[in-house]
Amino acid sequence: MKILVDNVWYSYDGVTYALRNINIYLTEPGIYLITGPNGAGKTTLLKVISLLLKPTIGRILIEGVDYWNSSSVEKTRLKSTIIFVHDKPLLVRGSVEYNVSLGLKLKGLSSNDIIDYYIKRYNLSDVRNKSIYKLSAGQLKTASIIRALVLRPKLLALDEPFTFLDNTRVKLLIEDLLNLADKGSIVIVASHYIYRDLVEKCKGVIELFMGELLSLKIK
């Protein structure tokens, strides 16, 4: 998958711009980090790349296709390859297992083995059948993340994925993101928490400041 962010500007109110003149071209699989202080535009850029927000100015090309000017069929196809994980877990009423399996069910897929694998790997077996309303913040965050991992998307975008995770789960998540990238996916992580293992093995770092691209380092 190749992603072109071409002269992108974005405004929430039509007056001020959260993003200004962003140009990024990601051509290879790997993990890419978006860094910067609060208000830098990290989440906005992540949502624009994930096709959740339409640029006010500029365009986003995914696999050479201008999503916002493509057919409904093409939009559906592209959207099916992309998953965005919000900083605050967005889960539906039901159990942990139901939530983790939801994405697969919506795509008409079934894979109990992979669901079992991730639930055990992230130590959620004891709460597997519990309602999400009985989970800790860390368990909620973990469930929302592994719901995305089971789908193995071509583009996985995560906003502050390490919040509420303990050190063990952070290590597991970094391993799984690297594994997903090794299998050909682009993984984009926006985070205040920068871990050495992730920085050393990432493909690139996108640094934002006040809505502008401060630096872009691709290895």
The string of pLDDT tens digits covering residues 4-32 is 999 999 999 999 999 999 999 999 999 99
Q: What are the structural domain ranges in the chain?
A: 1-81+155-219, 88-152
Give this prediction's pTM: 0.94
Q: How is residue 3 written in tokens?
A: 């992603």
d(CA 166, CA 210): 30
pLDDT of residue 211: 97
Question: Which tens digit of pLDDT belongs to each residue from 31-62?
Answer: 999 999 999 999 999 999 999 999 999 999 99
Considering the domain 1-81+155-219, what is its CATH architecture?
A: 3-Layer(aba) Sandwich (3.40)
Is residue 14 exposed (0-12), middle (13-18) or buried (19+ Cβ within 10 Å)? exposed
